[in-house]
């Protein structure tokens, strides 16, 4: 009875409608436990992880945040010159067929005959890494242990292969439609971009959230802004400038707070790795403390089953002070890829 009255009130004002759903959302989390997060809780065959929390209701609530219909493109443009981690394979986008080439080769002949309009086409052949441009790391990206296992205990000896991991590859990442929240650390600090090797702490986040007047809610896609992507330019070719900011990021402790206290289902940033990277002098101590060169990846991808979004372009959102929106991202559906790459996630408000 009270519920009905409440609903009528909601129906009256759509703002209320949204908040009730959001309020409901928390209690509707399927497996999340405050203080613990998730872990391998989705069944032995699960390849999806925390994104399993998405439901029709959560998606609908997220969509309802879009009350203007304005979209923000969070992808950066990629080409052969783009900044990337040097350990990934290089990239070329090469004209495979061109109008002149098709006509000169008269190939394929059955196509080029009886063609009074002189029709032809462009196509490209790509040699490209699955870890470039705007990315979402799949749950098979990071491994650990002598048995080289990844999320949910999938082991290399069972599920490795020559054509990519055969469990939890990026083609298993479902379309993501969720409430997105930008936490603008650079903005809160009044800098263009955070300096090299800056560690973003829980305190930094709380300060920024207060300034923004934003609240985190379980089920959120959280996007941390360092400001590094303001140097991407057209295609990320100024490697020196980008590298100078790319190592700022959250610590494992900050990630734990986001996940275990706040229920983030995905964590993104505008850097290549989301996580803080130490400078060379601090690297040894860092690794001895965390036992890994990328402990945030171990924690999020392997332990918690949480996808990581990298190189997300957050400049337009920050400029417009849009901190809360509907986040939509779909990775390419390519079997064997370890990550979604050169993506164009969108924020809709």
Span 227-256, contacts to a second copy by CB under 8 A = 235
Q: How far is CA 109 from the centre of its chain?
A: 45
**Contact status, residue 192 vs residue 186, Cβ threshold 8 Å:** yes
Q: Please select the residue that binds a second copy; options are 127, 203, 253, 321, rule is CB under 8 A.
A: 127
Residues 228, 239: contact at Cβ < 8 Å? Answer: no
What tokens were used for 158?
Answer: 């069972």
The angle at the Cα of 342, spanning 159 to 40, to the nearest 5 degrees, equals 35
Helix runs in 169-238, H state only: 185-189, 202-212
215 binds a second copy (CB under 8 A): no
Please identify, using beta-carbon distances, which residue of 35 and 118 lies nearer to a second copy: 118
CB 309 within 8 A of CB 274: yes
Q: Does 336 bind a second copy (CB under 8 A)?
A: yes
Residues 174-193 that bind a second copy (CB under 8 A): 174-175, 177
| 316 scored as a contact of a second copy (CB under 8 A) | no
Q: Which of 126, 130, 121, 223 is nearest to 178 (CA)?
A: 223
Nearer to a second copy, 92 or 203 (CB): 92
Smaller CB separation from a second copy, 222 or 338: 338
Scanning residues 271 to 300, which ones bind a second copy (CB under 8 A)?
283-284, 287-288, 291-295, 297-298
Return the half-sphere exposure (C-beta side, CA atoms, 13 A cut-off) of residue 33: 7
Query: Where is 222: in which H helix or E strand?
Result: strand 221-225
If you search the block for the tokens 């009886």, which residue do you land on? 114
At residue 182, the 3 state secondary structure works out as strand
| Residue among 225 and 297 whose Cβ is closer to a second copy | 297
Residue range at the interface with a second copy (CB under 8 A); choices 39-47, 110-118, 185-193, 257-265: 110-118
- Under the criterion CB under 8 A, does residue 197 sit at the interface with a second copy? no
Q: In terms of CB distance, is 39 or 336 closer to a second copy?
A: 336
Which positions from 15 through 34 interact with a second copy, judged by CB under 8 A? Answer: 15-17, 19
Alpha carbon 152 to its chain's center:
20
CB of 34 to a second copy, least distance (A): 24
Q: If binding is defined by CB under 8 A, does position 9 make contact with a second copy?
A: yes
Give the residue, chosen from 28, 159, 238, 243, that forms a contact with a second copy under the rule CB under 8 A: 159
Q: Which stretch binds a second copy (CB under 8 A): 34-42, 114-122, 181-189, 238-246?
A: 114-122
Binding mask 38-67 for a second copy (x = CB under 8 A): -----------------xxxxxxxxx--xx
- Separation between Cα atoms, residue 174 and residue 135, nearest integer Å: 14
Neighbouring C-alpha atoms within 13 Å toward the C-beta of 48: 11
Q: How far is the CB of 238 from a second copy (least distance, A)?
A: 16
């Amino acid at each position: 009875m009270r519920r009905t009255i409440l609903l009528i009130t909601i129906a009256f004002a759509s703002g209320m409608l949204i908040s009730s759903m959001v309020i409901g959302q928390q209690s509707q989390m399927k497996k999340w436990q405050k203080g613990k997060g998730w872990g391998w809780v989705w069944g032995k065959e699960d390849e999806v992880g925390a994104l399993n929390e998405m439901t029709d209701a959560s998606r609908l609530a997220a969509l309802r945040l879009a009350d203007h219909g304005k979209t923000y493109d969070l992808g950066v443009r990629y080409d052969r010159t783009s900044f990337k981690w040097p350990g990934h394979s290089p990239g070329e986008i090469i004209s495979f067929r061109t109008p002149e080439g098709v006509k000169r080769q008269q190939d394929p002949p059955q196509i080029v005959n009886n063609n009074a309009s002189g029709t032809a086409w462009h196509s490209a052949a790509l040699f490209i890494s699955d870890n470039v441009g705007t990315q979402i790391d799949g749950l098979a990206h990071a491994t650990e242990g002598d048995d080289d296992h990844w999320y949910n205990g999938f082991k290399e000896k069972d599920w490795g292969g020559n054509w990519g991991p055969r469990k939890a590859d990026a083609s298993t990442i479902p379309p993501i439609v969720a409430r997105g929240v930008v936490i603008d650390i650079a903005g809160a600090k009044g800098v263009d971009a955070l300096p090299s090797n800056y560690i973003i702490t829980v305190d930094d986040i709380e300060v920024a959230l207060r300034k923004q007047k934003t609240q985190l809610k379980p089920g959120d896609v959280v996007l941390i802004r360092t400001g590094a992507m303001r140097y991407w330019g057209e295609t990320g070719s100024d490697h020196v400038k980008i590298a100078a900011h790319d190592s700022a990021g959250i610590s494992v402790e900050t990630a734990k707070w986001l996940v275990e206290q706040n229920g983030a289902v995905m964590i993104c940033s505008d850097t290549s790795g989301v996580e803080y990277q130490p400078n060379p002098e601090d690297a040894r101590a860092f690794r001895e403390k965390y036992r890994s060169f990328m402990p945030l990846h171990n924690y999020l991808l392997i332990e918690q089953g949480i996808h990581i979004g990298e190189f997300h372009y957050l400049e337009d959102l920050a400029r417009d002070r849009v901190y809360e929106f509907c986040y939509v991202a779909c990775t390419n559906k390519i079997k064997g890829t370890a990550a979604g790459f050169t993506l164009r996630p969108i924020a809709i408000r």
